[in-house]
Amino acid sequence: GTAGLGLVGAYELARPYLMYLSGSVRPLLFICAGVLVLTLVGTLAAPWLARVRLPAWAPAAGAGLVVVLMAGLYARPWFQTVIRVADNPGDVRTAEMIRQIQRANGLPIDGDRLYFENSLHWVVWYVGLPAVVLATIAAAVLLRRLLRDGTPFAWLLPLAVVGWTTVTTLVRPEITPDHPWAARRLVPIVIPGMVLLAVQGVAMLRDRLQRRGPRTRKWGTAAAVLLVLVPPAVTSIGTAFTPIERGETAAVRAMCDRLPRDASVLFVERVTGDRFTQVVRGICGRPAAEVRRLAGSDTAPEDQVRRLAERVRAAGRVPVVLGAEEGQVAPYGRATQVMALVTRQDERSLVEAPNGTWTLRMNVWMAPVEQHGG
């Protein structure tokens, strides 16, 4: 029931976003449908399936497939370069952003690069190579055991969810590839799944070391734990103790206080609209919308803004425009700067683990839209 409501909500409220991510969403939907069908068929055919015996080579083949698949994902950068030729406004903006980050990172300029071939390396940045290796071994061993005699059965569903989701996500992350921002694609399933399987791998290693005596087991397990914990700690050292986004909450509250209580906000500039439309709606509690821009322009046509402002005024509210610069809002009325924030943000890294912060400046200018001749 909950899953069905989630699907309906996503389809009705976020359809454009889902269509934009369709390359990765569709495989997941097919997998979900496949799991439902297999569950239904498996339930109906359970008596017959209980008598079926897999070939003797199936367990080893399943384990080998896991290792080969992970090795292939890790080796992807050596034989594949993922690109996307921009053919819509969203992709054009993404390509320009990638070019800007490439300049900042000192990389060759190619806005079509998506860097998806590095997806497993992204995981290594955050959990460490030893954890990925242990997780791969654990997944291979668990799959071999499940195919051999169906045990441990409790691992069937977690392994299926983590395995399928990890593979489809790493093959087609469908996200702007700058880190740590792109890590949000890994956070729901991939990274927790890797950690879960890595812990299982440590437990398997501990059990094997038990045969060599308690001393070997103790030191071997301790070494494995250190191998899992140290790499992500080293990766995080450059950002873990650097505060970011300080002052944003106070700046937003101050901006909200400057907006008239009966204002309806029109964003006349792209970046300001991208950043603050939902903030104005959700935090400030004012209706807000971005004014449609012409292709290739970051600001809305003045006639469109004034037309919408008149409709706002006819509805009994005060039309207010927001932009990033004084000159973008001054044509509509007296311009006032309502935000001038300088803070730090996580850096944007394309080919290396993020290890620093960048300066972030946010400026917002406001003007109440005056009537012509007013």
pLDDT tens digits for range 161-191: 899 889 989 999 989 999 998 999 999 999 9
Of the listed ranges 233-242, 266-275, 284-293, the least confidently predicted one is: 233-242
How far are the Cα atoms of 2, 36, 92, 282 from residue 9, in angstroms, in the given order? 10, 20, 28, 19
Share of the chain above pLDDT 70, in %: 98
Q: What is the pLDDT of residue 295?
A: 80
Q: How confident is the model at residue 257 (pLDDT cuts 50, 70, 90)?
A: very high
Q: Could you tell me the two tokens for 99?
A: 């070019």
As given in the structure block, the two tokens for residue 183 are 């890590």
Give mean pLDDT, residues 239-264.
Answer: 94
State the pLDDT at residue 89.
80
Contact 24, 172 (CB under 8 A): yes
**β-strand partners of 323:** 365
Dihedral sign for Cα 257, 319, 321, 295, please. positive
Which has the closest alpha carbon to 352: 148, 226, 180?
A: 180
Tell me the mean pLDDT in the region 295-307. 92
Per-domain boundaries in the chain: 1-40, 55-236, 248-368
| Mean pLDDT score, 330-341 | 97
Beta bridge partners of 342: 361
Whether 343 has a pLDDT exceeding 60, the answer reads: yes
What confidence tens digit (pLDDT) does each residue in 140-156 have?
Answer: 999 999 999 888 889 98
DSSP 139-150: HHHHHHHHHHH-
Q: Which of 123, 239, 117 is nearest to 190 (CA)?
A: 123
Residue with tokens 């204002």: 263
pLDDT of residue 19: 77
The verdict on pTM exceeding 0.85 is: no
Radius of gyration of the chain (CA): 26
Q: Can you give the pLDDT at residue 10?
A: 76
Task: Report the pLDDT value the prediction gives residue 1, as an integer from 0 to 100.
Answer: 64
Structure tokens at 286: 């004012």
Q: What's residue 139's pLDDT?
A: 97
pLDDT higher than threshold 80 for residue 31: no
Site of tokens 């308690």: 214
d(CA 153, CA 147): 10
Neighbours of 122 (CB within 10 A): 23
pLDDT digits (tens, 9 = 90+) for 87-115: 888 888 889 999 999 999 999 999 999 99
Q: What does pLDDT average to over the chain? A: 90
Count of all residues that appear for the chain in the document: 374
Give me the pLDDT at residue 259, please: 97
Ranges 33-47, 116-130, 226-240, 357-371: which has the least confidence? 33-47
Which range, of 58-67, 222-231, 247-256, 299-308, averages the lowest pLDDT? 222-231
Mean pLDDT for 60-67 is 96
In the chain, pLDDT over 90 holds for what percent of residues? Answer: 64
Tell me the C-alpha distance between 227 and 84, whole Å.
37
Determine if the peptide bond prior to 232 is cis (ω within 30°): no
Phi, then psi, of 21 in degrees rounded to 5: -100, 15
- Least trusted range by pLDDT, from 30-34, 82-86, 200-204, 228-232: 30-34
3-class secondary structure per residue, 197-253: HHHHHHHHHHHHHHHHCHHHHHHHHHHHHHHHHHHHHHHHCCCCCCCCCCCHHHHHH
* Residue located via tokens 């402002």: 309
- Report the alpha-carbon distance of residue 172 to residue 177 in Å, rounded: 11
Structure tokens at 129: 């190579």
pLDDT over 80 at 273, yes or no:
yes
Query: 39 vs 42, 163, 168, CA distance in Å?
Result: 5, 17, 21
- For the purposes of burial, counting CB atoms within 10 Å of the CB of 50, is it exposed (0-12), middle (13-18) or buried (19 or more)? exposed
**Can you tell me whether residue 341 is helix, strand or coil?**
strand
- Looking at residue 327, its pLDDT comes to 96
**Helix/strand/coil (H/E/C) assignment for every residue in 45-71:** CHHHHCCCCCCCCHHHHHHHHHHHHHH
Q: For residue range 204-241, list pLDDT tens digits in order.
A: 998 888 888 888 888 888 998 898 999 998 888 878 88
* Residue 158: predicted pLDDT: 92
